[in-house]
C-alpha cells in the first residue's frame, strides 16, 4: 500500500436507456377480499368461483422461456415445460395467484403450514426466478413467515432510491449482525449515513487506484503456485485470492499469517449461519444452545478478537501502515469526531464479509464460462497478452482491457451474487399498485432480475458483447449487480478493479480447462456460488518458456 496513484478511471457500464416492453401486471380492484382470505385461497385446489381472478389479471407474460441451448448448464435453467400448475394458472383455471385490492398476490404452490418451503429448499434459485413470472410483486411464505418479493425493475428502483427511507435492511442483515451490529452493511438511518460518509474516501476511485499494486502483489503468489494439470477447486482458489486482496488493502495482512486463518475461518462460519437463519421459519431456533449456534457465536467472538488486535497494533504504530484501517483511524465526521475502536472493528469485519466472497464467486463463474467458450478465451488472450507483455499490470493499463471488462460485466449479470437481498418496511409503502404495511419483510434478487427475458434477450446466453456500447442496453434499473441508492455497494470500484486484475493475470499464464463430464450448478447460499467447480490449469506456452509475467 502507500502508493495511492491518481488517474485510474474505473467506470461501470453506463446503461443507455433503451426500453424493452415490460408487461406490467394490473393489481385489479381495490375492493376485493382481504389478505387473509386471499392467502387461504392460495393453496392448491380448484379456483373459487367469482369475479376476483378476472378482476385481477396477473402478469403471465410468457412460458418459462429463459432457457436456451447455450444456457448455463444448470438443470434448473434449461428450457422445460411449465409445470401443470403454471399452465393452469395461465389458462385462468388456477387462481392461487390472485391480486386483489392492492395486496400482492401469493405465489402458487403454497402448502398448508410449510408454505413455499419445499421449492425454497429444493432449488431456491429456480424458485426465485420463477416468481418473476407471477407479477411485479408476489408473496411467498415459509412456515409462519411471509416474504414479499419485488420483481419489477421499476419498483425495485423505487424501493432502493426514492422510498429507501421507508425500509430497513431486514431479515438477512439482522442475521449478519453477528459480524458487528453497527457495521456499514447493517447500520441504519443517521448512523449509517454518518459512517458511510466517513468511509467513502477509502473507496474513492482515486484511492482504489492506489490499491492496484497491492492487489497484483497479493494475487501473484497464488497464480504461480498452481501446478500444470493439477485440478483446482475454483471457488476456493478465487476466495483465497480475494480474501488476500481485501486483507492486504484493509490491514496490510496476508492469508499465510496469523491471525488471517482465524479471520477467514470465522467469516466463513458466520456467513453460513446468517443465511441459514434468514431462511429459518422460527427465529427462536437460533437461541437454542445447540452446536451450530455455539459455533457461530464462538466464530464471531474469535473474529472480533483477531481484528481488535490488528486495530491495537495500528494504533500503536500509526506510521507503519498505509491501509484502510489507517484511513478509518483518522476519518472524521462533520463535527471532527473520529470513530472509536469498537466501531472500526465492526467496519473491518463488515468489509471482510462483504468484500471477498462476492468477488470470488464472480471470478469463479467467469473462468467457468471461459473454460467452455474457447472463442471468448482466445479474445481475452488477444487483449491481455500485448498489455501484460509490456510488464506488470498497472492502473493506467486497465482502460486497455475493455473485453476483460465486458467479461466481468456479463458475469455480474448472469451470475449476480446477490440472489437474495432483504429489506423491511418501517412505514406503509406504496409500490406501483400495491400497498405494503409497516413491518413487511421484502426481498429483491439481482440474480433473477438479470435473467429476465423481458429485459435481456436470450438471457441465459453468456455474451460479453451484449455490453458493447453500440448494442441496445438494458432498461434503467435492470442491471444492478451492486444494488442501487444509498445502500449501494461501497466497494464497487474496488471490485471492478480487482476482478479485472485477477482475470488478466490468470489468463496471461493459464488456460483453465473444465473437467470432462462435470456439471456445475448455481447454488443460492449467502451468494450465488457454483455447486462444485473444479478446473485443470494448463500453462500457456509463453508462461512455460519463461515469458511469464
Ligand atoms: C463483485 C463483487 C461485489 C458485489 C456483486 C457486491 C454487491 C453488493 C450489493 C448488491 C450491495 C447492496 C446490498 C443492499 O442493497 O442491501 C453491497 C453492499 C456493500 N458492499 Fe458490496 N459487492 C461486491 C464487492 C464488495 C467489495 C470488494 C467490498 C469492500 C471491500 C464491498 C463492500 C460492501 C459494503 C460495505 C456494503 C454496504 C454498503 C452500505 O450499506 O452502505 N462489496 N454489495
Q: State how far the Cα of 378 lies from the Cα of 538, in Å rounded to an integer.
A: 14
Can you state the angle between helices 341-372 and 374-389, rounded to 10 degrees?
Answer: 120
Q: Are 94 and 108 in contact (CB under 8 A)?
A: yes
Residue 107 lies in a domain: no
Q: What is the pLDDT of residues 37-87, one digit of tens each?
A: 223 223 323 233 232 232 333 333 333 333 333 344 443 343 333 343 333
Binned at pLDDT 50, 70 and 90, residue 268 comes out as confident
Q: What is the pLDDT of residue 254?
A: 58
User: How far does the centroid of ligand 1 lie from the alpha carbon of residue 500, in Å?
Assistant: 17
Radius of gyration of the chain (CA): 24
Q: State how far the Cα of 491 lies from the Cα of 324, in Å rounded to an integer.
A: 12
Q: What is the pLDDT of residue 545?
A: 52
Residue 302 has pLDDT above 90, yes or no: no
Residue 339 lies in a domain: yes
User: Binding site membership for heme: which residues?
Assistant: 489
**β pairing state of 522-524 and 528-530:** antiparallel
User: How far does the centroid of ligand 1 lie from the alpha carbon of residue 353, in Å?
Assistant: 9
What is the residue with the minimal CA distance to atom 7 of ligand 1? 482
Tally of domains in the chain: 1
| Cα dist from 513 to 223, 382, 407, 460, 501, whole Å | 15, 18, 17, 21, 20
Q: Are 497 and 215 in contact (CB under 8 A)?
A: yes
- Phi, psi angle pair for 134, to nearest 5°: -100, 5
Residue 311 lies in a domain: yes
- Under the phi-then-psi rule, with left for phi > 0, alpha for psi from -120 to 50, and beta for the rest, what region is 114? alpha
- Ligand 1 binding site (Cβ under 6 Å of any ligand atom): 169, 184-185, 196, 246, 350-351, 354-355, 358-359, 362, 417-418, 421, 481-483, 487, 489-491, 494-495
Q: Are 476 and 496 in contact (CB under 8 A)?
A: no
Binned at pLDDT 50, 70 and 90, residue 234 comes out as very high
What is the residue with the minimal CA distance to atom 27 of ligand 1? 355
Closest ligand 1 atom, residue 527 Cα: 5
Residue 506 lies in a domain: yes
| Residue numbers of the domain that contains 255 | 189-401+482-539
The x, y and z cell numbers of residue 405, run together, are 471488462
**Residue 548, Cα to own-chain centre: how many angstroms?**
33
User: How far does the centroid of ligand 1 lie from the alpha carbon of residue 293, in Å?
Assistant: 26
List the beta strands (DSSP E) in 144-196. Answer: 145-150, 167-168
User: How far does the centroid of ligand 1 lie from the alpha carbon of residue 144, in Å?
Assistant: 30
In 3-state terms, what secondary structure has residue 429? strand
What is the residue with the minimal CA distance to atom 3 of ligand 1? 358
Closest ligand 1 atom, residue 242 Cα: 27
Residue 137 has pLDDT above 80, yes or no: yes
Binned at pLDDT 50, 70 and 90, residue 256 comes out as low
Q: Are 18 and 474 in contact (CB under 8 A)?
A: yes
Residue 266 lies in a domain: yes
Reported residue count of the chain is 549
User: How far does the centroid of ligand 1 lie from the alpha carbon of residue 56, in Å?
Assistant: 37
Closest ligand 1 atom, residue 495 Cα: 27
User: How far does the centroid of ligand 1 lie from the alpha carbon of residue 419, in Å?
Assistant: 13
Residue 283 lies in a domain: yes
Helix, strand, coil % over all residues of the chain, rounded to 5: 50, 10, 40
Residue 461 lies in a domain: no
Q: What is the pLDDT of residues 425-456, one digit of tens each?
A: 999 999 999 999 999 999 999 999 999 999 99
- Cβ atoms within 10 A of the Cβ of 264, count? 20
Residue 488 has pLDDT above 90, yes or no: yes
Q: What is the pLDDT of residues 8-40, one digit of tens each?
A: 333 333 332 232 323 333 222 222 322 332 232
Mean pLDDT across the stretch 250-276?
Answer: 73
Q: Are 173 and 483 in contact (CB under 8 A)?
A: no
Residue labelled with grid coordinates 451484449: 466
Q: What is the pLDDT of residue 410?
A: 98
User: Binding site membership: which residues?
Assistant: 489
Residue 531 lies in a domain: yes
Q: State how far the Cα of 207 lies from the Cα of 549, in Å rounded to an integer.
A: 25
Percent of the chain residues past pLDDT 90, beyond the cut: 58
pTM: 0.81
Q: Are 481 and 467 in contact (CB under 8 A)?
A: no
Q: What is the pLDDT of residues 328-378, one digit of tens each?
A: 999 999 999 999 999 998 899 889 888 988 999 999 999 999 999 999 999
Q: What is the pLDDT of residue 273?
A: 79
Read off the CATH number of the domain in which 247 is found. Answer: 1.10.630.10
Amino acid at each position: 500500500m502507500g502508493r495511492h496513484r491518481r488517474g485510474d478511471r474505473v467506470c461501470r457500464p453506463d446503461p443507455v436507456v433503451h426500453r424493452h416492453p415490460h408487461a406490467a401486471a394490473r393489481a385489479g380492484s381495490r375492493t376485493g377480499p382481504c389478505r387473509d382470505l386471499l392467502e387461504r385461497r392460495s393453496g392448491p385446489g380448484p379456483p373459487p368461483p367469482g369475479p376476483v381472478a378476472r378482476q385481477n389479471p396477473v402478469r403471465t407474460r410468457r412460458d418459462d422461456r429463459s432457457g436456451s441451448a447455450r444456457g448455463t448448464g444448470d438443470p434448473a435453467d434449461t428450457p422445460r415445460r411449465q409445470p401443470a400448475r403454471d399452465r393452469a394458472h395461465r389458462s385462468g383455471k388456477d387462481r392461487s395467484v390472485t391480486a386483489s385490492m392492492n395486496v400482492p398476490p401469493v405465489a402458487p404452490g403454497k402448502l398448508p403450514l410449510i408454505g413455499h418451503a419445499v421449492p425454497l429448499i429444493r432449488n431456491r434459485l429456480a424458485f426465485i426466478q420463477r416468481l418473476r413470472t407471477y407479477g411485479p410483486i408476489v408473496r411467498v411464505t415459509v412456515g409462519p413467515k411471509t416474504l414479499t418479493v419485488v420483481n419489477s425493475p421499476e419498483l425495485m428502483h423505487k424501493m432502493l432510491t426514492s422510498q429507501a427511507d421507508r425500509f430497513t435492511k431486514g431479515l438477512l442483515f439482522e442475521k449478519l449482525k453477528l459480524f458487528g451490529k453497527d457495521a456499514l452493511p447493517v447500520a441504519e438511518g443517521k448512523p449509517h449515513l454518518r459512517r458511510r460518509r466517513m468511509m467513502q474516501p477509502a473507496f474513492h476511485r482515486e484511492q482504489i487506484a492506489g490499491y492496484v499494486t497491492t492487489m497484483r502483489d497479493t494475487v501473484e503468489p497464488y497464480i504461480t503456485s498452481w501446478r500444470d494439470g493439477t485440478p483446482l477447486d475454483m471457488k476456493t482458489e478465487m476466495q483465497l485470492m480475494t480474501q488476500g486482496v481485501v486483507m492486504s488493502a484493509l490491514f496490510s495482512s496476508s492469508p499465510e499469517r496469523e491471525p488471517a486463518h482465524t479471520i477467514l475461518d470465522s467469516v466463513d462460519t458466520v456467513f453460513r449461519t446468517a443465511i441459514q437463519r434468514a431462511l429459518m421459519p422460527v427465529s427462536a431456533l437460533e437461541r437454542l444452545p445447540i452446536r451450530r449456534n455455539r459455533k457461530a457465536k464462538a466464530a464471531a467472538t474469535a473474529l472480533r478478537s483477531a481484528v481488535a488486535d490488528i486495530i491495537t497494533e495500528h494504533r500503536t504504530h500509526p506510521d507503519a501502515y498505509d491501509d484502510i484501517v489507517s484511513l478509518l483511524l483518522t476519518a472524521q465526521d462533520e463535527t471532527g469526531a473520529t470513530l472509536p475502536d469498537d466501531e472500526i472493528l465492526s467496519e473491518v469485519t463488515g468489509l471482510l464479509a462483504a468484500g471477498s466472497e462476492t468477488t470470488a464467486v464472480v471470478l469463479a463463474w467467469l473462468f467457468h464460462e471461459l473454460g467452455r467458450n474457447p472463442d471468448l478465451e482466445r479474445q481475452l488472450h488477444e487483449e491481455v497478452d500485448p498489455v501484460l507483455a509490456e510488464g506488470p499490470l498497472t492502473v493506467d493499463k486497465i482502460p486497455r482491457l475493455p473485453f476483460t471488462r465486458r467479461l466481468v460485466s456479463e458475469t455480474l449479470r448472469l451470475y449476480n451474487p446477490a440472489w437474495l437481498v432483504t429489506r423491511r418496511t418501517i412505514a406503509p409503502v406504496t409500490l406501483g399498485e400495491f400497498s405494503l404495511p409497516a413491518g413487511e419483510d421484502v426481498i429483491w434478487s439481482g440474480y433473477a432480475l438479470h435473467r429476465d427475458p423481458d429485459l435481456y434477450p436470450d438471457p441465459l446466453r453468456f455474451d460479453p458483447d451484449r455490453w458493447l456500447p453500440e448494442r441496445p442496453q438494458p432498461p434503467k434499473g435492470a442491471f444492478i449487480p451492486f444494488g442501487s441508492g444509498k445502500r449501494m455497494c461501497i466497494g464497487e470500484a474496488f471490485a471492478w478493479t480487482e476482478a479485472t486484475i485477477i482475470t488478466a493475470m490468470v489468463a496471461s499464464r493459464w488456460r483453465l480447462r473444465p473437467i470432462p463430464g462435470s456439471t456445475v450448478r448455481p447454488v443460492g447460499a449467502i451468494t450465488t456460488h457454483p455447486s462444485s467447480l473444479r478446473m485443470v490449469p494448463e500453462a500457456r506456452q509463453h508462461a512455460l518458456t519463461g515469458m511469464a509475467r
